[in-house]
Structure 1
Amino acid sequence: MSHDGVGRGAVLRSATFLTAGALAVTALAACSADEERESKPAAAQDIAPAARALITDGGTLRWAVDSVPETLNTFQTDADAATARIAGAVLPSMFRLDANGRPQRNPDFLESAKVVSTEPRQVVVYRLNQQAAWSDGRKIDASDFAAQWRALSGKDHAYWTARNAGYDRIEKVERGAGNLEVKVTFGKPYADWKSLFSPLYPKDVTGTPNSFNDGARKSLKVTAGPFAVQQVDRQGGQVTLTRSPRWWGRPAKLSEIVLVAVPRDQRARALADGKIDMAEVDPEEAQRITFATRGKGGSTPTQGSSQGTSRAPSEGPSQEPTAGGTGAGGGAAAQSAGQPALHGFVIRKSLEPAYTQLALNGSQGPLTDERVRRAVARALDRTELAGLVLKPLGLPFAPLGSHLALAGQPAYADDSGALGRQDTAQAQALLTEAGWVAGGPVTEQKKSAGSPGKKADGTKAEDGKADGTKESSGDGSGDDGTHTVREDDKAPGRQSTRHLSTQHQGEHPGAAAPGAYAPRGTAAPAGAASGVLAKDGKPLQLRFVLPSGPGSQPLRTVGDRIARMLEKVGIRTEITKVPDESFFRDHIASGDYDLALYSWPASAFPATDARPIYAKPVPGPDGSLSVEQNYTRVGTDQVDQLFDEAIATLDEDEERDLVRKADTRLWAIAGSIPLFQRPQLTVTRLNLANVGSFGFQTPLYEDIGFLKKGARGARPSVSPSS
């Protein structure tokens, strides 16, 4: 699981990174229906669009993935982005997303799909494309829909499913007026019914628990898409998809798509050596690749900036694809300033349908107080933080205004006014109101006996350090533009707190006991150190957990800047860097942090997908806290009710309004602070068309291919906003 962009299948479909909140009902930002319809993504997709007539017939596209997926079943807990990519190419989807992140009927499978009745039950009738058939020749029909419903309804626990949202509201699935009709009757109204049956698996997979649990993990023998799964080679690290001869839609242009497992820090070399044709890269890697391509026949990234589309290479024509996919740059491996030479490549840039947030753990310490959380939020200059990551890439860097939607989606509106803009004075006033006073006495904290420091793997760390490095945001004397770094031989102890799972490593200095507040306006004693906020003898210091992996530098840069912003209002932070593999498991999921940076993907169906992420935590039968996927552990009954109402209404305008009201409350309680939409950076060969950084849109795999010699793709039609 990636800490900076967790895939839905990696946690559960309904969970994949957001948070919670609430307060008194406030007026929503004014936004007319006409304005909402005109909403556009903050940046255009960059996929080198080209007409199919300009694309050669044949060729192999080698596409980098993080790893060969453990399962080909997207409804299992260990499904990942590669699982979803394979499913998109080989399985039916009733609806797919357009460039604005809105679900659109897929005509290859559906002639129509609509709600035909709402009383006494909601009934949806799907009319299937009469040509739609599985690769074994059997027609796609109601039996496939019914088998998938039974598998995902949650009623039969023999099915190892990651999610059942929506399917649990279905009462029955049956054949309609003819073989081409599927009639779905809901026991409870379900607004997001378009999210269902995408992908759709054949009843061969969903018909029995054994076939669902094990049969689709390693192979998919029966498919229905422009491609079919030919081979899953885990030892060789690749999955081969071949053009399906039974596909009734537009024939796939490519002969093969080979998904090749390449670690992110090795992708530039793999591209230069001709081992892959396309790869998503991290911002720091993209900048190195940009430098390597300048003056070497490559192209610098320009899409998403004011320059428009990527410029053509200064030398050398685009090479035609071969059976092996070799092209410009293959085997070159030349070095420029220590980087491999990348001839004939371009970085295609857009904004990913995901956003980075600052999470505030409201279950322990000072952040249990809503006033302190709001003070943290009011201390942040979110525009500056967005600019740190996006501005160097030439991408729009306006701060995100919603927890639940991104610009371009129907539910998007800037609801951050419920919290208020950056205001140092207001942040300081909130802290004073919460009892944290400048210059307050600080009692030296003693380390608890029997609680030595531990590493991320649970073993004892030398000198009590979690991973060898801790950073503190200064000495409380104000921000002079520096960030003091120190290595502590011993960390202060922490009060034992109850977590979703067992205690994990890492000391938590200065955690104030919940509910223990000094009287408002308590004066600082004479001689106390100025600038340090304290209460009950404890300093206001928060443990800020960040990942330490090579692809996490943007998060660490943002984290450092946040620490400086918080120091200005008197909040000290201790930055703890932990290995990527333990960041989520041992810290975010277990609640072993005060502040953290991680990302959630956006959803076309926020009423469904955000509900468990913002659900109010409740005590379980054993006394432990059940948080679902609400890892900030902040929630309210009001937010839960709004999501429940949004899921149950069949009026799209009402659903959108309810989602926006929920978002207003999420801002008000400050359980998490959305910062910016993540960059999406994809390195591709210059002669690849209809592929790159897709933004919201579901890829049309049948249209991807290599341009014919001399052909040029069209320029993007949507200019990014600034």
Structure 2
Amino acid sequence: MRTRSTTIRLAIPVVALGLIASGCSSNSTVQSGSVDLTSVNAINPHPVADLKDGGNLRLALSAFPESFNNLHVDGNTADTNSVVSPTLPQTFAANAAGELSVDNDYFTDIQLTSTSPQQVVTYTINPKAVWSDGSPITWEDLRSEWQALNGTDSAYQIASSGGYDHVDKVERGVDDRQAVVTFRQNYGEWKGLFGILYPKADTQSPQAFNDWARNSLPISAGPFLVSSIDRTQNRITLSHNPKWWGDAPKLDNITFSVLDYTATLPAIQNNELDESYMSGLEAVTGAKNTPGVEIRRASEPSTSLIAFNGAPGAILEDVKVRQAIAKAIDRKTIVETFQHGIVDQPKPLNNHIYIAGQTGYQDNSAVVGFDLDAAGKELDALGWVMKGDTREKDGRKLELRDVMYQQDSWVDTAKIIQQDLQKIGVKLIIQTAPGTGLFTNLIDPGNYDLAQYGLSGGGALPLQILRQMYYYDPQNWQGNKSRIGSPELNTVIDQTLAELDPGKAIELANKADQMIWAEAHSVMLNQASGTHAARIDLANWGAFGLATPDYTKVGFLK
């Protein structure tokens, strides 16, 4: 079983987003639904006795992993996560309601053993658990991962230090199979730590962390391991791990193929894929009408957004300019256009931390509510004057470059924004990129003004996103692609993460979210509709919602 709770995965949009491409068909019979999170999912559940022995689960990636280290800034994508999740240990697994339980394949017990004078969590490792090279999983693997991720050494190019920066030490317990983690500061979402565990070979030095899993995953410890990487065919194959000690998986293989989003529906129709996320009413309808295929739908913790680049020297460095631009983005029209026919009463997501239907969710977006007239007046007051069709200030034109994955739905979104910005004298230049290189070449180095992308993860542990995405640390931006924040916001984030009372943590999290909106760090678009096409004989796989897949129980019906 796998969990996606360690860090927020930056998704290449087609993978895990609900930004739905326009394709309104009057003859559509697709049933729409709510995007609010629920305690149900759609995976065609069956006992393993109903499944065939063997089989190959064929899935799609939008890009080849830049790194197989999901903890590294380059490997912090949904594609990497999809590949490595069946191959590595985790601490907890979630059910459809987002309730967490210890994954006993890897840990016999994980307990919060003290809260005073310091928070202490004790991890007892399953004595059968071994890495694929035969070496035991020990407390040293946890200690090494903490040392890599705690943020004290910037040579480790980490995606996030969230939670690990609260830890004071990791020590050996009663034996090598027990780790005692002592915190220097309380951390409310401690269950998210070590949510995906790499061997110490990956984390023992900055060079290892940055390079050991760059092109492959040499050592793993799940029911599957990476058995073949074919960069010519853009294909990755997972096979049984001969050292696996748990329930034997029903599948023989899991095969990932890199496909352009336009190829996923034809691949489903031609029986070249067994399951894929469907983006757009036309694609959903096409999949639904394919013999042997059904639509499985469950709301999921994946979102789409528009980030602003507020780095020093950037044209959007001034928060007041960002606020004006944010007010000129008609999020309601965008979401209604692209989720029409897929979601009942589509509406924008109005919180950076919580998902609609989740405890804690509230609308904090009023500070940048859509208002073209106000946006224009604010730019006037800031000295951006109209010269022809475009505003200028100090000889600089107000031209913004908007980068995104090369997909029609993202481009169509940008065109809606482009039309509204034009009305207030702002020129938007649309730039697309293939999945490979979108983050490493454009977004991560800050080579953009606006960026459209998606976030996948969080789920049952939503507060982890705060440290990774919104903390202001010019020495280590981690997942803060916008390079926007403040010491004041940092203080509230620290208070939120240190709060062990869930109700008080929610209050603090929403205070932080109000500050994030006021900073115009990014504007949220919509929550993913969670619409998947799957073969009707594929069991225990599909639209998981908040739940964690159990790869040992996935298979095809007899």
Quick one: structure 1 residues 101 and 364, their matched pair in 2 at CA, closer, same or farther if it must change by over 3 Å? farther
Q: CA deviation at 1:383?
A: 2.9
Q: CA deviation at 1:511?
A: 3.8
Instruction: Tell me, yes or no, if the aligned pair for 1:10 and 1:77 is still in contact at 8 Å.
Output: no
Q: CA deviation at 1:94?
A: 0.4
CA distance in 1, matches of 2:412, 2:38: 23
Q: Any residues of structure 2 matched to 1:655-666 within 5 Å, and which? A: 655-666=505-516
Q: CA deviation at 1:219?
A: 4.8
Secondary structure at 1:145's aligned position in 2? helix
Quick one: structure 1 residues 67 and 563, their matched pair in 2 at CA, closer, same or farther if it must change by over 3 Å? closer
CA distance in 2, matches of 1:159, 1:422: 40
Is 1:555 aligned to 2:410, yes or no?
yes
Q: CA deviation at 1:125?
A: 0.9
Q: Any residues of structure 2 matched to 1:426-505 within 5 Å, and which? A: 442-443=386-387
Instruction: Tell me, yes or no, if the aligned pair for 2:39 and 2:98 is still in contact at 8 Å.
Output: no
Instruction: Tell me, yes or no, if the aligned pair for 2:391 and 2:425 is still in contact at 8 Å.
Output: no
The structure 1 residue matched to 2:393, chosen from 512, 531, 556, is: 512
Match of 1:238 in 2: 235
Match of 2:402 in 1: 545
CA distance in 2, matches of 1:216, 1:425: 51
The structure 1 residue matched to 2:348, chosen from 396, 399, 410, is: 399
The structure 1 residue matched to 2:303, chosen from 355, 374, 381, is: 355
Match of 2:465 in 1: 609
Q: CA deviation at 1:707?
A: 1.8
CA distance in 2, matches of 1:683, 1:9: 22
Secondary structure at 1:635's aligned position in 2? coil
Secondary structure at 1:393's aligned position in 2? coil
Is 1:84 aligned to 2:81, yes or no?
yes
CA distance in 2, matches of 1:82, 1:273: 23
Identity %: 32
Give the gaps of 5 or more residues in structure 1.
1-6, 18-38, 294-298, 301-341, 445-474, 476-508, 514-536, 621-625, 709-722
Instruction: Tell me, yes or no, if the aligned pair for 1:10 and 1:78 is still in contact at 8 Å.
Output: no
The structure 2 residue matched to 1:647, chosen from 497, 501, 516, is: 497
Q: CA deviation at 1:435?
A: 6.7
Paired residue type of 1:95: F
Q: CA deviation at 1:688?
A: 0.9
Residues 511-553 of structure 1: CA distance to partner in whole angstroms, max 9, x if unpaired? 424xxxxxxxxxxxxxxxxxxxxxxx999x553525472x2x2
Instruction: Tell me, yes or no, if the aligned pair for 1:70 and 1:78 is still in contact at 8 Å.
Output: yes
Q: CA deviation at 1:365?
A: 8.5
CA distance in 2, matches of 1:153, 1:357: 28
The structure 1 residue matched to 2:124, chosen from 97, 108, 127, is: 127
CA distance in 2, matches of 1:666, 1:685: 41
Relative contact order (alpha carbons < 8 A, sep ≥ 6): 1 or 2 greater? 2
Q: CA deviation at 1:236?
A: 4.1
Paired residue type of 2:81: A
Instruction: Tell me, yes or no, if the aligned pair for 2:296 and 2:543 is still in contact at 8 Å.
Output: yes
Instruction: Tell me, yes or no, if the aligned pair for 2:162 and 2:468 is still in contact at 8 Å.
Output: no
Instruction: Tell me, yes or no, if the aligned pair for 2:353 and 2:513 is still in contact at 8 Å.
Output: yes
CA distance in 2, matches of 1:160, 1:598: 21
Secondary structure at 1:119's aligned position in 2? coil
CA distance in 2, matches of 1:280, 1:140: 34
CA distance in 2, matches of 1:108, 1:222: 17
CA distance in 2, matches of 1:213, 1:425: 48
Paired residue type of 2:338: V
Residues 574-621 of structure 1: CA distance to partner in whole angstroms, max 9, x if unpaired? 231223157656665565655443333352455443335323475x8x
Residues 607-656 of structure 1: CA distance to partner in whole angstroms, max 9, x if unpaired? 443335323475x8xxxxx8665444442332111012222333333322
Match of 1:457 in 2: none
How many correspondences in the alignment?
526
Q: Any residues of structure 2 matched to 1:166-205 within 5 Å, and which? A: 166-178=163-175, 180-205=177-202
Quick one: structure 1 residues 164 and 613, their matched pair in 2 at CA, closer, same or farther if it must change by over 3 Å? closer
Match of 1:304 in 2: none
CA distance in 2, matches of 1:692, 1:407: 21
Q: Any residues of structure 2 matched to 1:366-377 within 5 Å, and which? A: 370=319, 373-377=322-326
Instruction: Tell me, yes or no, if the aligned pair for 2:159 and 2:479 is still in contact at 8 Å.
Output: no
Is 1:673 aligned to 2:523, yes or no?
yes
Residues 2-44 of structure 1: CA distance to partner in whole angstroms, max 9, x if unpaired? xxxxx95679xxxx99xxxxxxxxxxxxxxxxxxxxx951796
Match of 2:56 in 1: 60
Q: CA deviation at 1:427?
A: 5.2
Instruction: Tell me, yes or no, if the aligned pair for 1:546 and 1:559 is still in contact at 8 Å.
Output: no
Instruction: Tell me, yes or no, if the aligned pair for 2:188 and 2:497 is still in contact at 8 Å.
Output: yes
CA distance in 2, matches of 1:42, 1:384: 25
Give the gaps of 5 or more residues in structure 2.
1-6, 18-34
Quick one: structure 1 residues 388 and 351, their matched pair in 2 at CA, closer, same or farther if it must change by over 3 Å? farther
Match of 1:277 in 2: 274
Instruction: Tell me, yes or no, if the aligned pair for 1:153 and 1:167 is still in contact at 8 Å.
Output: yes
Q: Any residues of structure 2 matched to 1:189-228 within 5 Å, and which? A: 189-207=186-204, 212=209, 214-220=211-217, 222-228=219-225
Quick one: structure 1 residues 203 and 617, their matched pair in 2 at CA, closer, same or farther if it must change by over 3 Å? closer
Instruction: Tell me, yes or no, if the aligned pair for 1:101 and 1:409 is still in contact at 8 Å.
Output: no
CA distance in 1, matches of 2:230, 2:94: 30
Paired residue type of 1:73: N
The structure 2 residue matched to 1:74, chosen from 57, 70, 77, is: 70
Instruction: Tell me, yes or no, if the aligned pair for 1:366 and 1:511 is still in contact at 8 Å.
Output: no
**Higher CA-based Rg:** 1
Instruction: Tell me, yes or no, if the aligned pair for 2:327 and 2:370 is still in contact at 8 Å.
Output: yes
CA distance in 1, matches of 2:399, 2:185: 44
Paired residue type of 1:556: V
The TM-score, its normalising length taken from structure 1, stands at: 0.63
Is 1:287 aligned to 2:253, yes or no?
no
Instruction: Tell me, yes or no, if the aligned pair for 1:350 and 1:395 is still in contact at 8 Å.
Output: no
Quick one: structure 1 residues 245 and 366, their matched pair in 2 at CA, closer, same or farther if it must change by over 3 Å? closer
Residues 679-707 of structure 1: CA distance to partner in whole angstroms, max 9, x if unpaired? 44433212112212333332221121112
Match of 1:117 in 2: 114
Residues 354-383 of structure 1: CA distance to partner in whole angstroms, max 9, x if unpaired? 322233445679856655544444455433
The structure 2 residue matched to 1:415, chosen from 364, 377, 387, is: 364
Is 1:389 aligned to 2:338, yes or no?
yes
CA distance in 2, matches of 1:587, 1:255: 38
CA distance in 1, matches of 2:117, 2:220: 36
CA distance in 1, matches of 2:206, 2:377: 58
Is 1:638 aligned to 2:488, yes or no?
yes
CA distance in 1, matches of 2:495, 2:134: 42
The structure 1 residue matched to 2:427, chosen from 574, 577, 583, is: 574
Paired residue type of 2:452: L
Q: CA deviation at 1:555?
A: 2.2
Secondary structure at 2:552's aligned position in 1? helix
Match of 1:467 in 2: none
Residues 398-455 of structure 1: CA distance to partner in whole angstroms, max 9, x if unpaired? 22120122124444322234x275456655665676577xxx7x556xxxxxxxxxxx
Instruction: Tell me, yes or no, if the aligned pair for 1:279 and 1:682 is still in contact at 8 Å.
Output: yes
Is 1:257 aligned to 2:107, yes or no?
no
Paired residue type of 2:453: Y
The structure 2 residue matched to 1:106, chosen from 96, 103, 108, is: 103
Give the aligned CA root-mean-square deviation in angstroms. Answer: 3.9
CA distance in 2, matches of 1:257, 1:191: 35
Match of 2:20 in 1: none
Instruction: Tell me, yes or no, if the aligned pair for 2:162 and 2:467 is still in contact at 8 Å.
Output: no
